Structure 1
Amino acid sequence: MQAPTRSLVLWFPDWPITAFAHEAVSPPTPDAAVAVFANNIVVACSWAARAQGVRRGQKRRDAQALCPTLQVVPADPVRDARAFAPVVARVEEHAPGVQVVRPGLCALKARGPARYYGGELEAARTLLRLLDDDGFSDVRASVADGVFTAEQAARSARADAPVRIVEPGDAGAFLAPLSVATLDDDEFGSLLSRLGVHTLGELAALPVERVRERFGARGVRLHALSGGLDSQPVQPRTPPPELHRDVAFEPPLELADQIAFGMRVAAEEFIARLGAHDLVCTELRVVLTGERAERSERVWLHPGSFDAAAVVDRVRWQLAEDAQGIFGSGVAGVHIEPEAVDAAAHHAKGLFGAGPDERVHHALSRVQAMLGHRAVVTPVIGGGRWLAERQVNVPWGDRAVTAKDRARPWPGSLPDPLPATVYPEPRLVGVTDIAGASVTVGERDVLSAPPAVLETAGQRRRIREWAGPWPISERGWDPLRARRAHRFQVVDADGGAWLLVVEEGEWRAEGRYD
């Protein structure tokens, strides 16, 4: 078995909270109680939330019962990794060869930085001072034999003593009193507890042959970790290419045409840099920064791949849609980076010219570039209770409403088959009984009389068959926006089928089954 590598670990406590605060439009205050949830389980929480009893592994309802003011944030691994990438790049400027264990935890071989900075302790302190200058003040560092031991040492460091050094050969003694839960293997740890093995020292004292017979290769690996014999070396990452571009305006600009003109060269360089790596951008992140630290951020999609002109168009469109309500002054800077890339070979033009789909795409994109982002839209079916709500116009190139959005519970929504004709504004109609009195629906969803006549556009139609009522109730908790209505399906004497809605005694036709 390979001897453990002397490793230096940097641990950022509660990194999901830090990543959220870094990218939030309105970041929480330092003393705000915030918790990140995955599957309604707490995965990270701020110190203010912990002060009120919130802990990792708690259910959402228990955490909110302990802390009613808790701000709930959904887990986002992509956000955590994206926010951690520039931090790792900053560390690599002073200590190359960084391995990202996971967002919020990175490791590197201790030998190089220790020789350069004059010792392991001084190397760790230097990196902490560097991170503190960048705004990361609560970082812990450690040096030990192996990444696993170094991680546990970093977690045991205190805020007043953020660096902990485990001397060579002392890893086993340091790990011995720790719980088997630190192995981060719930199934294995639970089984060991039932067998009477509660600490890493007790696990390391077991004969390795017996562990292999009972648990196999996984058990041998965890047995070695518990004894401080982490054989996995530090595996430095390959730094990704710098594909983003930043443009600063001094003085800040207020006119969209000026900003778009200033972005042309940067957009061309951005596309050229992607092309040098045989890549194309299919999703683009644009961040606008104002003179007073205002921030507008959006991810733009493209039905094909971005070129320089399309990048400039997205910057202009974002200025037109967002800047009026966000920026009280000029735009000081623009940041563009690829959110998603694809191999350039997948977007190469055909040998014998473009197909009809490609020609349609170019025509629609050209019209959109001339008239604006929302000038070309694609109709899709969305979710909702009312038929008009389910007709969603998505700007060309944006992500359409997914099937998951349509499949969400919509109590009161109309099941298939849906009417072929849907009126954008429901048409006023009349429904009367055989005596000519208007039909109404009581509080208990009981009809005043069976529907007999349908009046539409001045024509009286005898109702041959009808079904209903089916109640629709929305926002009952809000007296100002509460809405309650009833749906009916009727068939007139000519065979025409109608979808009707009665609300507050008024009948309207929502659609027709043609």
Structure 2
Amino acid sequence: MSDAPRLLVLWCPDWPVVAAGAAVGTPPLAPAAVFSANRVVACSAAARRAGVGRGMRRRDAQSRCPELVVHQHDRDRDARLFEPVAAAVEQHAVGVEVVRPGIVAVPVGGAAGYFGGEATLAERLLDEVSANAGVECQIGIADGLFAATLAARRAAFVAPGGSAPFLAPLPITELDQPGDERGELVGLLTRLGLRTLGAFAVIAERDVAGRFGRDAIVAHRLARGLSQRPPLRRALPPELEVTEEFETPLERIDEAAFIAKTLGERFFAGLARHGLACTRLAIVAVTASGEERVRLWRCAEPLTARATADRVRWQCEGWLTAAPGDRPNSGIVRLRLVPEELVGGEALQLQLGAMGRDADAAERAGRAMVRIQGLLGPEAVLTPLLDGGRTAAERARLIPWGDPRATATADAPWPGRLPAPSPATVFRQPVPAAVRGAGGREVECTMRGELTELPVTVAVDGEPALPVISWAGPWLHRPTLQAGSPPGVARMQMVLADSAANRHRPLILAVTLGPNPQWTVEGIYD
């Protein structure tokens, strides 16, 4: 039985392209794409027919479609121009939640009962958005935001309790939605042979938790048709709301941007003091004439201070720049942030530089790092950066604090590199090992990547040999051959049964190709 609420999701296809085209007057049927960091983040249907796809480099996209109209990604523009769509939906339904620019969600129960059914409600919303906002959209209804969003992309109405069967045949790539950043997880699941959401859903939750990280647990709940997180069952402190009043009414966008930053930091700090994080935020504005505007923002991940400030800024900008008949009658004199849905603060992964619970912690930490560098030199404070490489040790490099964190070789193909996930422990110097097959014969790897024996036992650094439960690989790497250079190496992932410690030991091993193999352990998984 699903624990997810029944939602209607209205989806505007390719919204970043639609918003960019509306801002500059591009013909709606022209092939167009929106780029960020020189890669496609969204493209129109005409561009997709020409072979352009999300994640493609600009040069490749333009070579496939020379007439492609190029736009730069602008999240503020997308949010500002989406406000009329959300306002149009709000004409017929209460509790409208903006998931992200291009997608709004509405609780179905009350509105569907008032209009005489879900289908009638959907028709009214389609007509309202088309007439008042002038954009095309699709609607889907299902239990839970994830299932309802995928239903909207297929214009499907899923029966109550039918989200899990609806999701089961869909490809596993649906987990990698814009903004979710699950591409690495999806790639790993695909390599493991899990090609549909149903194949992932049937795995026991304890097995997923033992093998993958937190993001995979969330994805597993979504694949099963459940809510993204279990509800937070604890009494909430009453002082979590944040209110700001203005003597001079707020009417300018630059003033709104400054206020949004301050409010976002205060709101985030208040939640952090109670060990909480917000996933659904209500932004309430009161004007000088007494008019009240309310907008809900639903978030896939718990809001940080910056993400909160972004949503406050987007919403204020959307209100203040709306058409004359839709904008407030006067300036804003009060802004209030209300946490509508909360999760435990452990769901929010903070990085170095965003530590602490008050708004100035990041700045204080930065000043402290710079002072240490001034006393001991730039190399005294290093931060890790994940870059390209074949081995786990090569992928992580340390750079001085404050240096640009641009990766140098992460996009290179790196043939023979180890697939995700990365090991928890990586040795500076590989540890010698002995891998043997049936009868105690040493296992070799040929130049073609074939093992001469099936691995049966592994002895690490002279310890007693442990039996091999499972293994994957080998992955070959042959460097450019020169006189005296080694012929290459192969890497494998193996799981050993350690009966003495009553646990399994997953390892990364490397072996030189050809006769007289040299086996080493490069890393250990937790």
Question: TM-score if structure 1 supplies the norm length?
Answer: 0.45
Question: TM-score if structure 2 supplies the norm length?
Answer: 0.44
